[in-house]
Amino acid sequence: MTASPALTILGPGLLRGNEKDLSGARVVVLLGPPGAGKSVQARRLSNDYSIPVISTGDLLRDHVTRDTKLGRLADPYMKTGRLVPDSLMNPILEERLSQPDCRRGFVLDGYPRTLAQAESLDGLLKKKGLTPHVILLDVPTERLLKLLAGRRVCPRCQRVYNIHYQPPKKEGVCDADGTPLVQRPDDREEVIGRRLETYQKETQPAIDYYSRQERLLHVNGDQTPEKVAAEIASKLLPP
């Protein structure tokens, strides 16, 4: 892989251990309220740095689609905008992070979402000698409501659109594969309020945890995805 200049600078400092297979591994954590555009930015980082995106929402939805035991247990929480308990979430995440494609690093989208998850992630990464870069996408609440209610997703390739801000070229279908777009059940207006409340109550303490340790990189999420990406790239450079 040819590393971009930003990448070369991002690499060192993340690796603290001596594990050979983790040489040059990069871990980026994307935090931000629901609808802030984490998944779009996660995909960009994944392309730029050739590392997989680990989206806990997608992992859970995959279990629900495959109708696994974990999926059946997680489904009622997801449908109502509540967090899936750690006893279900953490084993799914750990299993995914143990896959070979994560050896070079990964972008975490949607995890951690609680203080306990942030601490648990630190423990997990410490064992591998890794320190994550933690990015927080800041977006005002009024805008989040419109972002969430207008979001549409391609059920095949998971590409995300917004009917107000980023519509597909042809109404209602994915630009990439022509699949009819869908609205996630938890993007319905009656569930959105609950998700934002959950974020304030449960995820804010995780953000405060990183903030106290001066590990938080604030990025203005209330601008075009291109500008957000540029700001993220600039923040990942050392001061």
User: Is 113 a known active-site residue?
Assistant: yes
Nearer to ligand ADP, 19 or 204 (CB): 204
Check residue 56 for interaction with ligand ADP (CB under 6 A).
Answer: yes
Check residue 105 for interaction with ligand ADP (CB under 6 A).
Answer: no
Check residue 132 for interaction with ligand ADP (CB under 6 A).
Answer: no
- Dist. CA 132–CA 15, nearest whole Å: 10
Check residue 195 for interaction with ligand ADP (CB under 6 A).
Answer: yes
- Answer for which of 40, 78, 192, 236 binds ligand ADP (CB under 6 A) is 78
61: exposed, middle or buried (Cβ count in 10 Å: 0-12, 13-18, 19+): buried
User: Is 143 a known active-site residue?
Assistant: no
- Answer for which of 15, 41, 48, 81 binds ligand ADP (CB under 6 A) is 81
User: Is 156 a known active-site residue?
Assistant: no
Check residue 92 for interaction with ligand ADP (CB under 6 A).
Answer: no
3-state secondary structure the chain: CCCCHHHHHHCCCCECCCCHHHCCCEEEEEECCCCCCHHHHHHHHHHHHCCCEEEHHHHHHHHHHCCCHHHHHHHHHHHCCCCCCHHHHHHHHHHHHCCHHHCCEEEEECCCCCHHHHHHHHHHHHHCCECCEEEEEECCHHHHHHHHHCEEECCCCCCEEECCCECCCCCCECCCCCCECECCHHHCHHHHHHHHHHHHHHHHHHHHHHHHCCCEEEEECCCCHHHHHHHHHHHCCCC
Check residue 221 for interaction with ligand ADP (CB under 6 A).
Answer: no
Check residue 83 for interaction with ligand ADP (CB under 6 A).
Answer: yes
Nearer to ligand ADP, 15 or 113 (CB): 113
Check residue 139 for interaction with ligand ADP (CB under 6 A).
Answer: no
Annotated catalytic residue: which of 44, 61, 103, 151?
151
Check residue 57 for interaction with ligand ADP (CB under 6 A).
Answer: yes
User: Is 151 a known active-site residue?
Assistant: yes
Annotated catalytic residue: which of 38, 43, 152, 159?
38
Name residues contacting ligand ADP, limited to 169-188 (CB under 6 A): 186
List active site positions.
Answer: 38, 113, 151, 184, 195
List residues near ligand ADP by CB under 6 A: 34-35, 56-57, 60, 77-78, 81-84, 89, 110-111, 113, 117, 186, 195
